[in-house]
Structure 1
Amino acid sequence: MDNHATLCWRVERACAAAWPARTTDVLHGWAVARSGGGTRRINSASPLSPGATLDPPGLAAIVAAYRDAGLPAIVRLPTLIDPPTRALDDAGLAAAEGASTTLALVPGAMPAPPAMPATRIAIDPAPTPAWRAARRRLSLVAGAGAEDHLEPLARLRAPAWFASAAIDGATRAVAFAALTDGIAIIEAVATDPDWRGRGLAGACVAALVDRATVAGAVRIALQVARDNAAALALYRRLGFTCQLYDYSYRRRG
């Protein structure tokens, strides 16, 4: 069985595989992801090992890579490393933003989902047109770009399943899971604002957990913004009570 640190780094790699960047180069021990769009995770530099650090030449190389791509330099800082605070400060990167946490499902902790006779929960091996339309609409509701939660799916190579909850034929909630190295990562969970609080997102996540477990997943994890109280409460009710690590971003305009 993995120790905590080993599990966390396996989850880091599985998260990267579940949300792949358009281009990723390794510079000075950091994965420098560049994709465009409004998603920080695939437009930031992340450490690749516990010993990763940044000296001024290494950080300058990362900043230059983003400058050459016409993007702001963003460094993602998981609590799995000692943060290179001095180098980031000296290089003029702004204060931390986007504080998020990584949660794992405690085995056997997920309660049975409630019966929802009027709701159809579907699991598909690829995003259907209805899934895509709902995810596009819900991205706009959340203030993201219409393609921010769709464009990375064209690069997804890990086995994946796409869940949707439909009422009267209309898709009201979506999510997907991708499996890498025995770890399933839950991604892109969203519910129509007018239909929140009815268990739709929870039913999608529960269905994905079941499907991924059957497919061989030994761990299920997800990442969520720390200020998203509703999502945190939902995931804790579903049994995602093992907190693995946090992360945030620092940006240079």
Structure 2
Amino acid sequence: MADLALIRALEERLINAWPAFEIEVVEGWILRFAEGYSKRANAATPLVPGAAVDPALIDHVLRSFEERAVAPCFRLTGVEDRRCEEVLAARGLVDFDPSLCLVAPLGPELAVDPSVVIRPAPKAAWIGAAAAAYGGEKANADRLGRIVRAIRQPAAFATLSLDGEDAGWGLAVCERGYVGLYDIVVAPNLRGLGLGRRLVVSLMAWGRDAGAAQAYLQMREANEVAGSLYASLGFTTAYRYAHRVLPAPP
């Protein structure tokens, strides 16, 4: 049985920690738009328990995203009416990229790694390097910069150095007892060396020192490497969420 109170608590913090450029609130759903940069900021997500969908609401959501040239996406967290998956599937929206939200306690053993520098605001160099390391659809430094500069909660922008060169980047945002970890990334040629773990532990330690008791993060369910890392640090699944999107054209 899903813990609806926990889902709501974490989803509220996510909305604040990863701001969109525009939002709409429609019949218990929040529609967020950020010019397509990341699914979490470009989706319709249920706000209230039992939020449902019907043909008129689906039409409105699809139109709102298409008007902004953003791929429509329903992000289903378990808060919504249980029939939503069936209704959206009947409308032709397909399951895509199932993901997990994980939580972990923050213990006294955590410490910031000496190779990690943490700043309270993003510098242009951090934004550019992090976007380049993400690559693909998240390589747009302008959009990443607009998102992270809009964060209003206490935040940590971490850079890990290896042999005098910047090698990894990560973001944490602290709000009301939780610290969210976002977009941990290591330079492509340096992956597999344990650098990601050092970033994660450092950001968890920062969150504890900032007053958080728990950490949370989101990851793709299929990412077994990340899942093993997070499990070793005490993370467990708080809830699973799915995306419903229109199928790609042939």
Q: Quick check: 1:99–1:226 contact (8 Å CA) kept in 2?
A: yes
Change (3 A) 1:157 1:107: closer
- Pairs within 5 Å for 1:5-20: 5-20=4-19
Counterpart position of 2:151: 156
Counterpart position of 2:192: 197
1:83 CA displacement? 4.5
Counterpart position of 1:53: 52
Which deviates more from structure 2 when the two are superposed, residues 171-180 or residues 84-93?
84-93
Runs of 5+ consecutive residues of structure 2 not aligned to the other structure: none
TM-score normalized with structure 2 length: 0.88
Quote the Cα distance in structure 1 between the aligned partners of 2:53 and 2:109: 43
Runs of 5+ consecutive residues of structure 1 not aligned to the other structure: none
Quote the Cα distance in structure 1 between the aligned partners of 2:105 and 2:120: 25
Quote the Cα distance in structure 2 between the aligned partners of 1:111 and 1:98: 34
Counterpart position of 1:134: 129
Counterpart position of 1:250: 244
Counterpart position of 1:98: 97
Change (3 A) 1:234 1:182: same
Over the matched positions of the two proteins, sequence identity in percent amounts to 27
TM-score normalized with structure 1 length: 0.87
- Pairs within 5 Å for 1:25-104: 25-81=24-80, 82-93=82-93, 95-104=94-103
Stretches (4+) displaced over 4 A: 110-113
Quote the Cα distance in structure 2 between the aligned partners of 1:226 and 1:111: 28
Q: Do structure 1's residue 121 and structure 2's residue 116 form an aligned pair?
A: yes
Q: Which amino acid aligns with 2:59?
A: A
Which deviates more from structure 2 when the two are superposed, residues 202-211 or residues 191-200?
191-200
Which deviates more from structure 2 when the two are superposed, residues 9-18 or residues 151-160?
151-160
Q: Quick check: 1:185–1:221 contact (8 Å CA) kept in 2?
A: yes
SS at match of 1:105: strand
CA RMSD of aligned residues (A): 2.3
Q: Quick check: 1:163–1:204 contact (8 Å CA) kept in 2?
A: yes
1:227 CA displacement? 1.2
Q: Quick check: 1:33–1:43 contact (8 Å CA) kept in 2?
A: yes
Quote the Cα distance in structure 1 between the aligned partners of 2:208 and 2:110: 15
> What is the number of equivalent residue pairs in this alignment?
244
Q: Quick check: 1:130–1:171 contact (8 Å CA) kept in 2?
A: no
Counterpart position of 2:201: 206
Change (3 A) 1:125 1:107: closer
Q: Quick check: 2:106–2:204 contact (8 Å CA) kept in 1?
A: no
